[in-house]
Chains A and B, each alone.
Chain A
Amino acid sequence: MTMSTTPLTPEIVSQDGNAMVLSMGPQHPSTHGVLQLLLEIDSENVVKAEPEIGYLHTGIEKTAEGLFWTQAQTVIERMDYLAPSSNALCYALGVEKLLGITDQIPERAQTIRVLHMEMTRIASHLVWLGTHGIDLGAISVFFYCFDLRENILDLQEATGGARMHPNYVRVGGLNGDLPDGVLAQLDALIEKFPGRMRELRGLLQANPIFQDRTIDVGVLSPEDALGWNVTGPSLRASGIAYDVRKAFPYCGYETYEFDVPTRTEGDAYARFLVRLDEMEQAMRIVEQARRRLDRPGPVMIDDPKVAAPPKETIALSMEALIHHFKLMSEGFRVPPGDVYQAIESPRGELGFYIVSNGENRPYRVRTRPPSMYNLQALKGIAPGNLIADLVVMIGSLDPVFGEVDR
């Protein structure tokens, strides 16, 4: 067993021949965050790539152990900062399973959760597409993407009160119903989306420069993808149609009609196509969810032990006041047990292994971070490629470092 204290051991530094060691990042703009790559290169070719992570380690799992079940959701939401609601939803679903209230979540809450998740997926893929374009020199794509993303963030702000981390999904349902006017905004977005997608496809899909840079770059065979534990669009681009929404449905995904786009090439271009198709499928789900939203209904579980009673009732009912006080001052308790809950986040299978010891705080929250495992596959696909193609491969794996490092 070797335990080197520094990543650059003397053997690596002092090797002879044409090979040399190059450190790329952690401030390199194309690494999508704080990723350092230790590259062993032979002229322009990558012989070995060793990603160094941990620059953004914030100890979220440790912090969560000291917070109430609801408070922990606030820090957990900050892991995947491009798709914050997916973290919150996965955690909430896990806690709900431990509480045994999964089947009591109101239907409207589930619909809005699905709506929110798919919008998050589109927003997250838009950031990926924009930055992936910039990496390859296609600057204008970025502006198209961020314009559309801004519409989605406006909706998030309207529902949750914050653009980036709405903290809208809660254990037991949602933090309030959709406010007036949001549905009109949503309709406008649904109307705008297809045209904007056509533009985005037109900018890149048949673009010969883009194709030259991405086709046959970073090929991931199905066996390698499984071995490296790659999930999400990257796995589906390698020909395996594994989607948690279909395999282990949650929030009523089994009642929505949508396809799981797959490709068999497994290269960066296939991953690009899969994500683009996925955005269109996500919008299909959004449209279906939108139609279900015309019916009003509760959005929070009717259980004062988990959900605070409506604020207005505090002045009228002693019980409401007591429940409110108890929930705010010491939170709720979760029966002892452990659970693994997974959802399909924009990056792949996001999982939470939650252990409760019956207290009002999580005993342990272990995340299965899709970004981390997807990024790890870089070690497998980078060797043999050009340095210039590294940014394509990083971009096509779509890591988010808040989640890789947590």
Chain B
Amino acid sequence: MPSTQIPPITGAAIDPPSLRPPIGDAVIERIDPQALRARLEALKADGFTMLLDLGAVDYLTRKPRFDVVYHLLKLPARAASVSEVGTPVRMRILCGVDDGQALPSVMDLWTSADWAEREVYDLFGIVFEGHADLRRIQMPYDWEGHPLRKDYPMRGPERERSPRPAFANKSNVVAGTPPSGRTLAALQEQVKRVRAQDDKTP
């Protein structure tokens, strides 16, 4: 099934932004985690009033592994007409960060970073230092793992599946055509094992 495979990692995935022809959708800047906070503070002071979005990309084999992407918009706070807004400047800050490395939170600069940082933490496991309430947002609180990482299986974590005895007896397995290729005897053996286990557990 091709749709369940992890997408192939090729050399081209290492840094797509540097490979592409200029599209001109934003001003792009790549920055180190150490310089990130100061740069964002300067941009905020420069009039980038909106942190439009904050996302991440997992490049798995690259060093550093993740890219955290900040999308900024320079929108004036007093712009009552379309002409005053004009074409605001879009800016994209890419910050490479390794597994286990923390980034400074920008929640105090833009309040909207709250949920965005929580989501990146939840789905990628990137920690934002200084975030007031960094907990999972999309996944359940007791979830293990970070689903949007590339090494996280597409169909979720492997779970031991218990065969359903009643279903196995009724299905076409009994009619002699096991869809899994396993024989009826093997299945009945498995069913017996599961039932024995069920009896043991109170």
In-complex Cβ contact of A241 among B9, B56, B84 (8 A): B84
With contact pairs A62-B147, A339-B25, A361-B7 given, residues A3 and B134 touching in the complex (Cβ less than 8 Å): yes
B53→A366 contact, CB < 8 A:
yes
Taking each of B4, B137, B147, which has the highest tally of chain A beta carbons within 10 Å of its own beta carbon? B137
A65→B7 contact, CB < 8 A:
yes
With contact pairs A57-B138, A229-B110, A247-B88 given, residues A353 and B71 touching in the complex (Cβ less than 8 Å): yes
B3→A222 contact, CB < 8 A:
no
Range class of the B interface residue count: 35 or more
Please, which residues of chain B bring their CB within 8 A of the CB of A4?
A: 133, 135
B75→A363 contact, CB < 8 A:
no
Please, which residues of chain B bring their CB within 8 A of the CB of A349?
A: 52
B4→A358 contact, CB < 8 A:
no
Please, which residues of chain B bring their CB within 8 A of the CB of A373?
A: 112, 115
With contact pairs A54-B139, A62-B147 given, residues A355 and B57 touching in the complex (Cβ less than 8 Å): yes
With contact pairs A229-B50, A368-B52 given, residues A337 and B16 touching in the complex (Cβ less than 8 Å): yes
Residue B167, interface by CB 8 Å:
no
With contact pairs A59-B147, A363-B13 given, residues A226 and B8 touching in the complex (Cβ less than 8 Å): no
| Closest-CB distance, A274 to chain B (whole angstroms) | 13
Closest chain A residue to B17, Cβ basis = A338
A53→B10 contact, CB < 8 A:
no
Q: In residues 47-95 of chain B, which contact A (Cβ within 8 Å)?
A: 49-53, 55-58, 69, 71, 75-82, 84-88, 90, 92
In-complex Cβ contact of B87 among A65, A71, A247 (8 A): A247
B141→A5 contact, CB < 8 A:
yes
Please, which residues of chain A bring their CB within 8 A of the CB of B138?
A: 53-54, 57, 405-406
Please, which residues of chain B bring their CB within 8 A of the CB of A1?
A: 127, 129-131, 134
Please, which residues of chain A bring their CB within 8 A of the CB of B154?
A: 62-63, 65-66
Closest chain A residue to B154, Cβ basis = A66
B81→A340 contact, CB < 8 A:
no
In-complex Cβ contact of A246 among B78, B85, B152 (8 A): B85
Residue B23, interface by CB 8 Å:
yes
| Closest-CB distance, A397 to chain B (whole angstroms) | 14
Contact pattern, A 352-390, Cβ under 8 Å of B = 1, otherwise 0: 010111110101101010001100100110000000000
Residue B169, interface by CB 8 Å:
no
Give Cα A353 to B131, complex, Å.
24
Residue B21, interface by CB 8 Å:
yes
Please, which residues of chain A bring their CB within 8 A of the CB of B141?
A: 5-7
Please, which residues of chain B bring their CB within 8 A of the CB of A177?
A: none
Range class of the A interface residue count: 35 or more
Mostly, the B contact residues are: loop
A335→B55 contact, CB < 8 A:
no
With contact pairs A226-B77, A246-B82, A358-B10 given, residues A5 and B135 touching in the complex (Cβ less than 8 Å): yes
With contact pairs A57-B138, A241-B82, A366-B69 given, residues A227 and B148 touching in the complex (Cβ less than 8 Å): no
A372→B115 contact, CB < 8 A:
yes
With contact pairs A59-B147, A66-B154, A339-B23 given, residues A229 and B130 touching in the complex (Cβ less than 8 Å): no
With contact pairs A226-B49, A240-B77, A359-B7 given, residues A5 and B69 touching in the complex (Cβ less than 8 Å): no
| Closest-CB distance, A63 to chain B (whole angstroms) | 8
B5→A66 contact, CB < 8 A:
yes
Taking each of B3, B53, B147, which has the highest tally of chain A beta carbons within 10 Å of its own beta carbon? B53
Please, which residues of chain B bring their CB within 8 A of the CB of A111?
A: none
Please, which residues of chain A bring their CB within 8 A of the CB of B17?
A: 337-338
Closest chain A residue to B84, Cβ basis = A241
Give Cα A355 to B150, complex, Å.
14
Q: In residues 1-18 of chain A, which contact B (Cβ within 8 Å)?
A: 1-7
Residue B142, interface by CB 8 Å:
yes
Contact pattern, B 117-156, Cβ under 8 Å of A = 1, otherwise 0: 0000001000101111111111111100001100010100
Give Cα A226 to B47, complex, Å.
11
| Closest-CB distance, A148 to chain B (whole angstroms) | 28
Closest chain A residue to B28, Cβ basis = A338
With contact pairs A1-B131, A366-B55, A366-B57 given, residues A340 and B79 touching in the complex (Cβ less than 8 Å): no
Please, which residues of chain B bring their CB within 8 A of the CB of A65?
A: 7, 154
Given contacts A229-B52, A364-B57, 15 further A-B contacts (CB under 8 A): A62-B152, A66-B6, A98-B20, A222-B77, A240-B80, A336-B19, A337-B17, A339-B23, A355-B16, A358-B13, A359-B7, A359-B10, A368-B55, A373-B112, A376-B112
Q: Which residues of A contact B (CB under 8 A)?
A: 1-7, 53-54, 57, 59, 61-63, 65-67, 71, 97-98, 100, 222-223, 226-229, 239-243, 246-248, 260, 262, 264, 335-341, 349, 351, 353, 355-359, 361, 363-364, 366, 368, 372-373, 376, 379-380, 405-406
